[in-house]
Structure formats: C-alpha cells, structure tokens
Chain A
Amino acid sequence: MNYPIWYLPNTGGGLLIAIIAILHVVVAHLAVGGGLFLVLTERKAVKSNDAAMLGYVRKHTWFFVLLTLVFGGVSGVGIWFIISLVNPGATSALIHNFVFGWAIEWVFFIGEIVALLIYHYRFDKMDRSKHLVIGWLYFIFAWLSLFVINGILAFMLTPGGWIETGNFWPGFFNPGFLPGLLFRTAIALIFAGVFALITASFLKDGNLRIRVFRYSAKWMYYPLILLALTGFYYSTVISEESFRNVFHVNPESRAFISLFIYASVALFGLGLFTIVRMNSMLHKVLAFILVVISFGWMSGFEYLREIARKPYVLYGYMYSNGIRPGEVATINENGFLATAKWARIKTVTEENKLQAGEEIFRIQCLSCHTIDHYNGIRSRTNKLSERGIEAQLTGMGKINTYMPPFAGTQKEKKALAAFLYEVIQGKTTIPDKGYKPAELTTEYPAFDPQKNDYVLLVWNDLGMHCISDNEKYFSFLPPANTLNAQLFKRGPLPQVVTKNVKLVYEVEPMHADPEKHSMFWKYSREIFGAEIPSGKGLAGKSVNDVMDARGNYFAADLIPVVPYRDDDVYSPYPVFTVSAIDQTTGELLIATKAVTPVSTEMGCKNCHGGDFAWNGISGVSDETAENILAAHDRYNGTTLLPDAQKGRPRLCQSCHADPAVGAPGKSGILNFSSAVHGFHANYLPDMDNTSCNMCHPSAATGNTNCYRGRHAITGINCTNCHGRIEDHALSLLAGQSSIPQAKVLSANLVPLLARDKAAVNPRTPWLNEPDCKGCHTNFNINIDGFSGTAYNQWASGFNELYRNRTDNHGVRCIACHGSTHAVYGAQNIYEKQRDNMQPLQYQNIAGTIGTYNNCAVCHTVPMNANGHHRNMANRTDQVAIVQ
C-alpha cells in the first residue's frame, strides 16, 4: 500500500523468497554447526596424532569456505534483497526497529569471515593450538550471528512485548527466541554431520572414509533428542491462533506437514546407512541424497513457520499485504484505492470497475496469490458465483484467520469480485430474469353454519418447509411435511373430538406421485440408513393417507410431498383435502383444504454457483452441490465430495445434531443450525433480511415467497422476530458454548438486537423460538404496545412454541391463527387466498378464525367474554384482512 508492487502474477514473490531463503538457510546452519565440527575434528585429529584425519579436516575446510563463505554469505544478502523487493513495508519496519541488532550481527560476520579465512589460509602455517583458537573463534562468531538473526526472525512470528512498548529488547528476546535458537542449534549440528559426508565420500582411503562417515553419524543423531524437545518447545510458544491455523485449519500447511514428516523419516532413516561400509561411489550417492533430503526437510520446516504466521508478515502488526490491522477501518471508509499510494486508479466507477478490481487485486492480494500457480486465485474462486466471491471477501479472515480481512469500500469489494469473476474466471453474471408464478385456482368445500356440526381446522406446523433436493450429494431436509388438525363439534361449548373419527387426507392429483420427482427414495439407505418404501415418508405416511389421533389433535408426520407437479408446473403450495369421517357410520362430517408449503428454492447457488436444477426454476443442481461439499471438505478436512461421487452421500445431521430431524449428531460438533448460520453469518452480515432471502425461499422475487402471513403484509420482516443473521447465529452459538468452534464462529459477529454478545440469550434450534408474546403484550399490541422485537425472548421449550401451544381449553393457537409464517390473513403469490381457505370457508373473511366477532363459527352463538385469551371479545380495533 505504501510501496510499489513488483508485479509477479505467475511466480509470486513468496516463492522467490522461499527459494533464496531455503538455499541460504541450509548452508547457513551448516556454517554454524560445521564450524564446531571443524574445530572439534581438528582437535580430535591432533589428540590422536591422526595425520589422515587432519588432512580430511583441511579438505573439508576448503569445501566449507567455498560453500558457506561464497554461497552462504551472498545468499544471505540475497534474502535481504528479495524481502526488500517483495515486501518493502515489512522490511522497512524490521530495519527501523532492529537496525542495531543487524549492526551487531555484522560485527559477528566480519569476525566470522576473518576467522574462517585465517583458519583456511593459515591451516598449516600456524601452531596447532593457535589454529584451534581461530577455529573456536569462528564457531563462536558464527553461533552469535545465528543468535542475532534468530531473534529478529522469531520476532516476526512472536513479537512479544514489542507490540505494546515498541521496545527493542522485548522485541528481540521474544517468546520464540529461545526455542528457535536451541532448535536451530540442533539443526546446525545435524547439518554439520550431513555435509561432512560430501567431502568424506571423496576420500580414497576406505578405512578413513568409513571412520569419518561413522563419526559424522554421531553429529547427525546425537542432537536428535535436543531437536525433538526444542521443536516441541517451539510449538508451545506460538500463539493459539497460529497453532490452530498451521496445524488444523490452513489447507496450505498440509503438503508441508507431509513433506516435513516424510523428509524426517527419509533423512534419519537413510542416515543410518552411514555406518555401513560401502564403496566410494555408493558413499557419494548416499551423501548426495542426504543433502538433497536436507533441503527438502528444511523447506518443510521453514514453510510451516511461515504459514504459522499468516495472515501477518509481522504478527499482529502488519498483514502480508502491507496493511496494518489498525488501518482497516479507515480504509473501509475512505477507500483502498484512494489510500494506496501507488494505485493507478483512485475511485471505482461503473466504467472502470474491472480495471479497478484488477488494481485492487494487484496491490492487496498479489502478495500471496498468483493467478494460476502457487495459491492461484483462479482455482480458489472457481466454485463461487460473483455474489459468492463478494461474500467470501466479506467473510475473509473472520473464521479462518489465516487470511487478512478485505480492506476497502463495498464498491471496491464488488469491483474486485467482478474482476475475479469476469476476468479471471471468464464468466458472466446473468441478471435475474424474475419469476412469474403459475396462476392457480382452488375450490374449497362449502360450509353451512346452519347445517354443519363440525369445524375442522388443519394446518402445516412450520408454515414453510424446504427440500434439499439433491440427495445424490447430500440431504439435510428430506420431503417431510407435517399436517396437524383439530376437529371441533360446534355448540355453545364446542368439544375437541378425536375419538371415533377418521381424518383422511388426499393431495392434489398432480402431486400424487412424488417418487417420480425426487431422489429421496433412491438414496434413503445411504442417507437415512434404511430403505424407505417408495412413496412413503420417514414416518410411514404417504401423500394420500390417514392422520393419526394423538391426545386432542391429529397428526400426519413427514408426508413426502414435493413441489414438482406431474405437468411440469412448479407449485410449492400443494393443497390437501382433509375429510373427517365418522368411523361408525362412514358419514363425512366435514371436509376442508390445507396447504403444505414445500419449496426447493434453496439459495445456495446465489453464492456457490450453478443454476436451478429443475427446469431452471428451482432445486439444487449438481454443480451447486459439488461446490458446497468441496467448500465443506476444504474447511473441515472432510471427504464428503469424493464420498458422494462414489455413491455414498450423507445426511448433514449425521454429524450435526438437529432436533428437527431428531438427529443426535456427533459430540464436539455444532448442531446443524448453529453451524450453518454461525458460519454464514460471517459472510452475510449487515444485510437486514436480505441475508435471509439469500438462502431461504422468502425473497420477494423468488419462486416461493414463503413468508406470506399478516406480518409480512404489515412490513415486519424475518429479522424483527429472529434477528439479523448475526443475531440469529449468536443466539444459537450461545447455546453451544461448550464446543470450541462456537467461539471461533462468533468471534467476529456483532449483535444488532442485543447490547452485546453476553446479553444474547442462548437457544436450542427448533425448541427455543421467538414467540408472539415477545411483541404482543397482553394480546393487544394496539392498546398495550410492543417491544419492537421478539428477539432474545425465546419460548422455553417444545410445548411453549406457537405451533404447539394451546389455550386453557386445549385449543391450539395455530388452529385459529394459521400456520407459522402464514398467519391469517396471508397472501400467496400462486393464488391470493390459497392459505386463507379455511377462514373463507368457515366465516367468509380471510382473517383469524373468529375475527370480526365471528365466534359463532364454532360456538354457534355470539360470545362476549375472553374465552381463549385476553382482548378477544368486543374488540374495537379491527385488524387487517385480505380482501
């Protein structure tokens, strides 16, 4: 941001640093350990009067000079050069803070160089004792230079007290300093042994060669215990977040963890062959292989150290792209392009959107992402729509903190998403065509208040139900609508009837064969663990069946109705005709019609890409399903996509507990609603009910419009009861606080409808829900006011829920007031009064059963007392009905 960027779209600066640094670091560790090796071996040779061994030391010194002085020394400067080019901001910060540390290191360097030159050039021209002093001084200077650079390098990952004080000393002697120093000293000794094999392999005398090989083996293996202990120590001083990112979360680490493990096994496994006598050629091959493995081994370790530091280049102080965490809020307000000194475009317009997006990518993202190669952005964004990329940028760094947050305005974020989608992916966002619902007409049965003795009220319990209709890949919502009913015998004191009556239900003919339109039965064994008979639901009911009597109501659970008609019309509100039949006489007591809302308007594709699967109107396509599973696998280390592709799709709730399907889930894993909402809230915050509409079939422009009751008409939206997605997620995550992931998902969520996170009351999904009483004080808002939101005032349990609650007479609230989310009078886009058929049938008014002083519907006579709840009789204010 502050500095110009070296444009490297194909290599990436990080790779260049890695190449130079790894080459240097291996040789540099050799330069330290090898110094001790030289002086100790010389001493050993002198003590045992071994001229041949001394000759070996002389040769090894020359090799040492050529490798460590020339290559090691210049490549060290090389690191300095390359980091200044790839990340000048971080380099400047380091240099300005640690200039005297480097100045001190330079003194050690010159001591090292002079000592080594004397050691080599005066090898036989000095008294041996004085020569050994020079050797020791070389090693001391070399180790001291490691001392210094290790402090500064460790600072980058664990800056310690420097973050608060800006002081050199706590910054230098930071938490990672000591473990790093000890760990690298162990490495230095090990490499001394490995590289000694190179010169030893050229010894012609076989006896000497095997002696040196075995001697070098001690250098390789004795420090192993120190390496293991200090390595473990090292892993305990990095921050919890670092540890979690590098070992559990960041997919980038996986390859390097494998590399480090395999290289360790290879190095210390093959290294055992050093004790075996063999001919010179084999010894050369062995030495060469061990050196090559050493480079691989070091790469594994150093890459892991670098990855542990992400998203920072200086931990907690500066992100890898040069942005400081404290600057992000200002940049979001003033604009990234306006703030970046070297941006060629300063504001985003409609005309320059793609170029602006490219400029943002170049300055903010190129530091870690190439286009097609390492961390290639093309493959990172090919499973998302343009809107999905925008959401990804919004959620970046909030859950998986190895990414920094996006810094820029909303417009800039959209420009970047447009660039990534249109230019990098080469795709185009097709604008929404809009949807014209089929115009349906339904005739409902007649009701004669003089002749009919019964009133049958039937409702769907949830008011909306979806099907995740690509069971080939996964399922979390099978075809499973529940119808409930109460049958009343009319009279001044009506009776709830369940005995001796059979409630038969029948769906519209076009919906009679759901098995033709759903993969539910094909995959029922994989997903539900049992073969479910064709046409039957999970509770054994089919679409034409009989309801069960339970206490004072009737239920038909989990009816497998689907919204796809046989004539290829999409109808998410199939109508059931329910008939109450006297079991003794066979007489039809009363019939009515009820809607079971069932939609496949799953909004996953809005971000996860793909199109609607069923005639371009609805349903989850294979592409969308694959992208969803791929994302889940990447973030969580699961194998859902390959498993599904091998014919083994899973029920999401097989891991994620869910009261809605009665699944216990697996311990330690968030329940389904917490996981989905908790995760996505990070990507779709600050959007009021638009975020609800992105996934649920509630969008006004969608094919369902499931939120259609009285509240929708008065302008109340989902968030007034449920909170925004952030509020919604926080209430769920608060109920899961014993699971660590709950803290991770809620870390960056900010509640709107509660004072703070601590004030959010925990809830279990499907059991603690917002309730009417939260707003409807004393059952009459117009007289007694309302709190403005039902959020955070949850019903205490199953029996307290609106859809299950009764009054003192056992009459269900939902029976008279209508299905949840379709409270009378509702408006339906497929047929205006489709949801209001029962009130129209019984009282000719599309409003609550009994409204407008229509108590006679059940009571046969007018009533003037509050029999069911307060503020019923003699109401002066009349609420809206649907004309």
Chain B
Amino acid sequence: MADKPMTGQAFFVLTALADGPRHGYGIVGEVAGLSGGRVRLKIGSLYGVLDRLSAEGLIEPDREEAHDGRLRRYYRLTRDGRGALAEEAELRAATARVVRSRLGLAAEAAG
C-alpha cells in the first residue's frame, strides 16, 4: 500500500498543537495565524483532519473543559505526532532550501 504524503491542512493542525494542547476553535484560530490568514479551516475540514490524525495516532484528546456551559475538548500531539511533524518540517525546509537556491534567493539574501 502506498504511503500518503501529509496534507497542508494536517501539517498546519499538527503545528498548531506543537506548543501545547488546543481545542477545536483554538486550532482554527492558530492555523489562520500560522498561515497568515491563507488557511481558514471550515468545521467539516477541521474535524475531517482531526479524525484522521486521531485514527493515525498522531494526536489524542488531552482533557475536556466546561466553557459557557459547553464542553471543550483539547487535543495534543502524541510522540508519533511529534516525530511525524518534525520529519515533515525537515522535508519542507529542505524543499524550501532547494527552491531558494534555484531561484537565486539564497545568494541575494547572503549578498
């Protein structure tokens, strides 16, 4: 079975959880901030991603907190999730280095 690459949305959600647990809307806000407003997760997309990451063992529920009479569920990265995020970040950084080099941006920045 072919391995599947991580989607952009999954990458942003994992990144949003990298510095601590967050609840659903907290993740939406953090992803919007991280992406400079380019990625605005709708509820169907968010829970599609959370469901998949949870099934793959990359995130897990952290705790539930009552807020204005509603229960907020917080999610956190698992050890596998941390590893997967680090690996993906490294891959993206390596790709970005190649792109910058091919566009001549690295030389310009150095110069």
A-B complex is real: no
Tell me the A residues contacting B by CB distance below 8 Å. none
Residues in B lying within 8 Å of A, measured CB to CB? none
